[in-house]
Amino acid sequence: MHHYRFTCTKCCKNYVPNALNLRCEDCQGTLSVQYKFPTEQMSSFNYGEGISMPIPIPSPSDLVSLGEGNTPVLKLSKISNQLDLEIYAKLEFMNPTGSFKDRGTSMMISALRSMGVSEIVEDSSGNAGASVAAYSSKAEIKAHIFAPSSAPDTKLNQIKVYGSVLHSIDGSRDKTTEAAEAFAKEKKAIYASHNLSPFFIEGTKSFGYEIFNDFGKEIPENIIVPVGNGSLFLGIWKAITELDTQNLIGTKPSLHCIQAVNVNPIASPVPWNISQIAPTIAGGIAVGTPPRKSEVRKVLEESNGFANSVTEESIKEWQINLAKYEGIFCEPTSAAAFAGLENLVNRNRIDKAKRVLIPVTGSGLKDAFPE
Ligand SMILES: Cc1ncc(COP(=O)(O)O)c(C=O)c1O
Ligand SMILES: [Zn+2]
């Protein structure tokens, strides 16, 4: 018997966990992990001083790990001075494959391996694919990774080097998802979509537990996240909610969601239509139909966060600013969060007396270099 269940995020129907189960059979809603017991009776990671994070694997020793997490936090002094507020960055590109995805992948691959899965299909803009490829090789799982042919060569080569089968798909990011789903169906293989798998968010939530330690329980009042499907955004909020259930948190932070003007199904100020989609250099957040969109909206509402859209020019500008002023070379998708911060500050959406934390989600070395 599992110590958790899957629950539909829409109609709340419960399911016995199963590697094939990615959506509610009744309403097609996305699924999330719900733990059955109090945290102290559960398989969990220890974050010190009685703080434990429940995990959906039989025991912590079942984790397939490449050393993910425990990323550094830096104060960004020059950018803080420029925008006149206190800004911190958590360097997620220092994870083993160069992006925050390793947190989610480690948990997803561990859970699937503990269920006896030996072959998977995944689709990605590049970073998650590289991450799934790496953890699959460690777990001795055969991985088919679908990625847009327009993804940077560095990411596509990274997927291949770990020994996965790369399926390069022409067209949009959404076309890649369709191709992966069709392949998994045809081959009767496990579709381990990091966007749909309830296990992925159980891994990304470690970010939230870490910042609780990084800041001595005084979590910054604002967290700004670049959002495509929302796996990091939702993982952080799940951590905050779990810490709150354990009565460990005072004031909960506001979570703000940043998207590119060219692909903003969540942040668009007018009703969004997929035909509005346009190319963006922020490939990681170029997701026209995010399956967890209503979950992201709910967190924005609960946390009093804002959704904001950023232009291509501002993304480029902030990628360079971060490198030039702070010595941080991130990919354009990650820079989008900083462009969003500038917008929110200019529109007085953020109180300058409060602190801001931004995950620097991916490495500049894996994407096209700024011109
Ligand atoms: C570097 C980077 N940042 C942010 C994101 C957005 O993550 P999510 O789609 O889970 O919201 C991605 C997704 O590919 C990414 O690669
Ligand atoms: Zn349902």
Residue 88 pLDDT exceeds 90: yes
pLDDT score recorded for residue 232: 98
pLDDT category of residue 61 using cuts at 50, 70 and 90: very high
- Assign 337 to helix, strand or coil: helix
Please state the rounded mean pLDDT for residues 172-201: 93
**Closest atom of ligand 1 to CA, residue 232:** 10
- The residue contributing the CA closest to ligand 1 atom 15 is 284
Domain-ending residue, one of 169, 199, 229? 199
Beta strand 307-310 with 254-260 is parallel
Q: How far, in Å, is the centroid of ligand 1 from the Cα of 307?
A: 16
Give how many domains the chain has, as a whole number: 2
Alpha helices in the chain (DSSP H): 77-83, 101-114, 127-139, 153-161, 173-187, 198-204, 206-214, 231-245, 293-302, 312-326, 332-346
Is 65 within a domain? no
Is 334 within a domain? yes
89/110 same-domain check: no
335/259 same-domain check: yes
Residue 330 pLDDT exceeds 90: yes
Q: How far, in Å, is the centroid of ligand 1 from the Cα of 137?
A: 22
pLDDT, the chain, mean: 95
332 contacts: CB under 8 Å, gap ≥ 6:
281, 282, 283, 315, 316, 319, 367, 370
**Closest atom of ligand 1 to CA, residue 124:** 14
What lines the ligand 1 site, CB under 6 Å?
99, 125, 127-128, 226-233, 284-285, 287, 331, 333-334, 361-362
Domain-ending residue, one of 199, 232, 265? 199
- Give the domain CATH number at 173: 3.40.50.1100
Is 325 within a domain? yes
Pocket test for ligand 1, best of 91, 99, 287 (most atoms within 8 A of CB): 99
pLDDT category of residue 250 using cuts at 50, 70 and 90: confident
Specify the higher pLDDT residue, 302 or 216: 302
> Rounded to whole angstroms, how far apart are CA atoms 262 and 286?
8
Is residue 361 within 8 Å of 226, Cβ to Cβ?
A: yes
User: Within 13 Å and on the Cβ side, how many CA atoms surround 100?
Assistant: 33
Is residue 362 within 8 Å of 98, Cβ to Cβ?
A: yes
Is 45 within a domain? no
Is 66 within a domain? no
Residue 246 pLDDT exceeds 90: no
Q: How far, in Å, is the centroid of ligand 2 from the Cα of 197?
A: 15
232/304 same-domain check: yes
Is 54 within a domain? no
> Rounded to whole angstroms, how far apart are CA atoms 6 and 354?
37
Residue 39 pLDDT exceeds 80: no
- The residue contributing the CA closest to ligand 1 atom 16 is 284
Residue 235 pLDDT exceeds 90: yes
50 contacts: CB under 8 Å, gap ≥ 6:
none
Residue 41 pLDDT exceeds 90: no
pLDDT category of residue 316 using cuts at 50, 70 and 90: very high
Q: State the pTM of this model.
A: 0.97
User: Within 13 Å and on the Cβ side, how many CA atoms surround 40?
Assistant: 4
Is 32 within a domain? no
Closest to 191 (Cα-Cα) out of 103, 108, 102: 108
Q: How far, in Å, is the centroid of ligand 1 from the Cα of 95?
A: 14
- The residue contributing the CA closest to ligand 1 atom 3 is 361
Pocket test for ligand 1, best of 333, 338, 363 (most atoms within 8 A of CB): 333
Residue 358 pLDDT exceeds 90: yes
Its domain, for residue 137, covers: 101-199
- Assign 358 to helix, strand or coil: strand
145/229 same-domain check: no
pLDDT category of residue 244 using cuts at 50, 70 and 90: very high
| Helix or strand holding residue 222 (H, E) | strand 222-226
Query: How buried is residue 248: exposed, middle or buried, by Cβ count under 10 Å (0-12/13-18/19+)?
Result: middle
pLDDT score recorded for residue 371: 79
114/85 same-domain check: no
Is 112 within a domain? yes
262/357 same-domain check: yes
Summarised one tens digit per residue, pLDDT across range 97-141 is 999 999 999 999 999 999 999 999 999 989 999 999 999 999 999
**Closest atom of ligand 1 to CA, residue 204:** 10
218/351 same-domain check: yes
